[in-house]
Structure 1
Amino acid sequence: MNRIPMLAAGHAAVDLYQGAVPALVPFLVAERGYGYVAVSGVVLAATLLSSIVQPVFGMLTDRWRMPWLIPVSMVVAGAGVAAGGVTDSYVLTWLAVALSGLGVAAYHPESARLARIASEGSHVRMSWFSLGGTLGFASAPVLVTPLLAVWGLGASPLLVVPAVLGALVTLPAVRAAAGSGQGVRAAAPVTGRDDWPSFTRLTLVIVFRSVVYVGLSAFVALYMGGGAAGAVALFVLFAGGAAGTVLGGRLAVRWGRVRTMRLAYAAAIPAVAGVVLAPGSFAYVFIAASSIALYAPFSLHVTLGQDFLPRRVGTAGGVTLGLAVSVGGLASPVVGAIAEAATLRTALACLIVFAVLAWLLSRTIEEPGREGTSAGW
């Protein structure tokens, strides 16, 4: 049984809730009067707990098979966002969104382990699994914005439905994995050493990338004016990521993972600059270009990380697919503070620096087993 489509559908369901948090921001501003720092704190809630506990879930899945964690974590992620819209205080909203982040954290390491088994080493198949998550991001503003625009934040409990549906769709793959007798040690090679220096550099690249992408996702809707224009901006950002994910897997087959990653981050620099500098609706073009460039290496990060840590694929998957992605949210309050102290344009301009850092550090990374060779760019 090909489990990749089911795992991709589950990935879409859980990552929808990462995209739902930025989509909630304009409504929290409009209905509750939250400022930039307050809403960036909500974005932080979705990532802080996830960033702290994700390595723990990675280490646990390196020791024990936990396929049951996949559907359970989906429901937790959905329940947190559903509750966040109906709580009557900022603290309760923060805690509810943090609970959603916990669900996201629990999902990624085990799902990445199962996807590694199901993909059988194919970059293209792994990109389809990653695409599921990106489509979840992309669908969030399409689902959240019309729902809340009509019925307000009080309708947020309906947002738990995709989590329940995703858990049901994923159950056959989870049951197949549970009955296959394939544990994490069957998925990880018994030979080969863990290359922690290379993995650390890769993690820093992903962190820099995360700062850029999370910063854009948190504030681009407000930057473009909120309302329908903001929803379009979020959709373009997330849909561009879907295109970039598939493109990255195919380019990796032709050019190699590291060269594709370097080229993508080189392209991200002028793309992010264009978001800040382009006038009016031309900014949408650069929002799409930024997303494509930032997401082209997304699935490649996962397979590179697992190859750098062949004995700890759960930890590698948790960090590359979850922790290093979500940790960018830790910078969101700083971006919000800069926006309040200066302008939102100035705050977004700061993200260009992190795109440059991601590209520069990617140039220090080589393909696993091909150290000393140059991949170009």
Structure 2
Amino acid sequence: MPRNRSIILLAVGHACVDVYQGAVASLVPFFVAERAYSYAAVSGIVLAASLLSSVVQPVFGALTDRWAMPWLLPAGTILGGVGIALSGLSGSYAMTLAFVAVSGIGVAAYHPESARVARLASEGSHSAMGWFSLGGTLGFATAPLLVTAVVATGGLRLSPLLVVPALAGSVLCLPVLRALRKTADAASGKAVVPATDDVASFVRLSLAVVCRSVVFVGLSTFISLYIEQRPGGSRTAGTAALFVLYCGGAVGSVLGGSLADRWDRVTVARWSYLVSIPAVAGIVFVPGPAVFVCVALTSAGLYVPFSLQVTLGQDYLPTRVGTAGGITLGLTVSIGGLASPLIGTVADATSLRTALTPLILMPALSWLLFRTLPEPGAPSPTASPTATARQTAEARSEPGGTPDGEPAGEVGLDPQVVAEDRSDL
């Protein structure tokens, strides 16, 4: 299957899954209106979906490092959709919480393996990975429109219709998985050089992603209110600012991959964070309509590195790409989101401007962390990361391995090992 077609199918499938990440918050007003849930109750529902999904993602990543599980793409998609679809049918808070948690687990199961599959299908193209990331961004942004179109017309009883994107996404990924299985079978006899994990660089990368998450989630939560409260502001202006923040993210996702195909990923991410520093400062301090320019620059600057950070994490941990994807896509994002309550507390005690001012430091910290990161060599796109991990472990147990546990030289990969590893593709 041509690379572009594979990436388009995976990107659309990614959108179908991430619809359910945005759907939970979009259902909140309907839960309050129809079931009289308190703000604390609906906050618990949102937390059950987002936090559980983000924390569980590294677990699925570790599992996919041990065994190839491409079936998680359709299964996770279906699970994510079914959970949201059923959440509107039961008036029981406990059941609603359980169904939303099931959806979060489905989303968590999908992402680490989909990041690995997309990396294989992209054949090392950073722009292709940018398009894959764009799919998720558009899916999240589309969720409010989809939920409103379905639920506003007939109430929560129509929530089963929300399973339609999941059905579509689960079907779209199947041709890609079949094509990759054929490619893996054809390449099963090739030699692979066991890779070495750069844990120190991965930790610094993860910290940079946390800083990015703090500023983006903080702005996503409060920028609409902040623009509305400024002199000359209005509810329309606040909504427009949030819209620009999300639209800039869509542009940044694609732009980051294209720039990384010309320059290396670390350089592109470093310059993006550098541009984000004055842009975030502009959001906080620049008066008048010029603030929308700052919002657009901030959004693009924070999203340009997004897909690049995923592939960098995979290259820093080449024997544990599932774990790398689970952490960069999930855990670090949830940790960054925990800062929002702190921002709200400071805003209640002082003002929103005072609470948002420390966010200027976040892209600066990401920039400093990226200054210490090397540009890793990308692994062969046809090589099996799981098979490479297995071979590295086997080489370390051989007498010819070096004292520090690394193999002394190139080792030929047993075709049966790769065939076993890729039997699910």
Offset at 1:278?
A: 4.5
Aligned to 1:297: 305
CA distance in 2, matches of 1:46, 1:161: 20
Deviations 1:22-68 (A, max 9, x none): 44456667775754x76655443333212322111111111212111
Is 2:111 the counterpart of 1:103?
Answer: no
Which residue among 19, 24, 34 is the counterpart of 2:22?
19
Superposed CA deviations along residues 199-222 of structure 1, whole A, max 9, x for unmatched, are: 111011111112222233344455
C-alpha spacing 1:356/1:182, structure 2 compared with 1 (3 Å): farther
How far apart in 2 are the matches of 1:263 and 1:327? Answer: 24
Task: Name the SS of the counterpart of 1:365 in structure 2.
Answer: coil
Partner of 2:82: 79
Distance 1:29 1:266 in 2: 41
2:58/2:325 contact within 8 Å kept: no
Calculate the TM-score normalised by the size of structure 1: 0.83
Distance 1:181 1:255, change over 3 A: closer
Distance 2:221 2:99 in 1: 18
State the partner residue of 1:202.
205
Indicate the SS of the match to 1:361. helix
Residue identity in the other structure for 1:192: A
Q: Any idea what the Cα deviations from partners look like across 1:156-214, whole Å, max 9, x if unmatched?
A: 4433222222112222223334555569x999954231100001110111111122222
Alpha-carbon distance in 2 for matches of 1:342, 1:271: 23
Structure 1 pair 332–18 and aligned structure 2 pair: CA distance change class (3 A): farther
Structure 1 residues 26-105: aligned runs within 5 Å: 32=36, 34-35=38-39, 41-84=44-87, 88=91, 92-105=95-108
CA deviation after TM superposition for structure 1 residue 274, in Å: 3.0
More deviation, 194-203/265-274: 265-274
- In 2, the alpha carbon distance for the partners of 1:251 and 1:151 equals 45
Distance in 2 separating the partners of 1:364 and 1:321: 21
How far residue 6 of structure 1 moved from its aligned partner, in angstroms, is: 1.0
Contact 2:55 2:334 survives alignment (8 Å): no
Amino acid in structure 1 at the alignment position of 2:59: V
Query: How far did 1:245 drift?
Result: 0.9
1:114 deviates by 0.9
Distance 2:342 2:42 in 1: 12
Provide closer, same or farther for how the CA distance between residues 106 and 38 of structure 1 changes in structure 2, counting only shifts above 3 A: same
Q: Distance in 1 between the 2:153 and 2:289 partners?
A: 26
Partner of 2:318: 310
Of 48-57 and 95-104, more deviation after overlay is shown by 95-104
Alignment check: 8 A CA contact 2:55 2:330 kept? no
- 1:1-377 aligned at under 5 Å gives the runs 1-2=1-2, 3-24=6-27, 32=36, 34-35=38-39, 41-84=44-87, 88=91, 92-145=95-148, 147=150, 155-178=158-181, 180-181=183-184, 190-223=193-226, 232-279=240-287, 282-368=290-376
- Cα gap change, 1:87 to 1:110, in 2 (>3 Å): same
State the superposition RMSD in angstroms: 3.4
Deviation (angstroms), 1:298: 0.9
Task: Report percent identity of matched pairs.
Answer: 60
Structure 1 residue 227 displacement after superposition: 7.6
For residues 98 and 369 of structure 2, the distance between their equivalents in structure 1, rounded to whole angstroms, comes to: 35
Report the alpha carbon displacement of residue 16 of structure 1 after superposing the two structures with TM: 2.1
Distance 1:146 1:230, change over 3 A: farther
Q: Distance in 2 between matches of 1:333 and 1:219?
A: 11
The code of the aligned residue for 2:275 comes to A
Pair 1:81–1:239, CA change in 2 (3 A): farther
SS at match of 1:165: helix
Q: In the alignment, what sits opposite 1:375? A: none
Q: 1:189 to 1:287 in 2, by over 3 A?
A: farther
- What is the Cα deviation at residue 346 of structure 1? 4.4
Contact 1:190 1:311 in 2 (8 A): no
How far apart in 1 are the matches of 2:236 and 2:86?
Answer: 24
Aligned twin of 2:418:
none
Secondary structure, counterpart of 2:70 in structure 1: coil
Q: 1:272 to 1:257 in 2, by over 3 A?
A: same
Aligned-partner Cα distance in 2 for 1:24–1:286: 30
Separation in 1, partners of 2:191, 2:286: 46
Q: Distance in 1 between matches of 2:93 and 2:352?
A: 23
The unaligned stretches of length 5 or more in structure 2 are: 229-233, 379-425
**1:262 CA displacement:** 0.9
CA 1:171 to 1:280, structure 2 compared with 1: closer, same or farther past 3 Å?
A: farther
Q: Distance in 2 between matches of 1:141 and 1:186?
A: 48
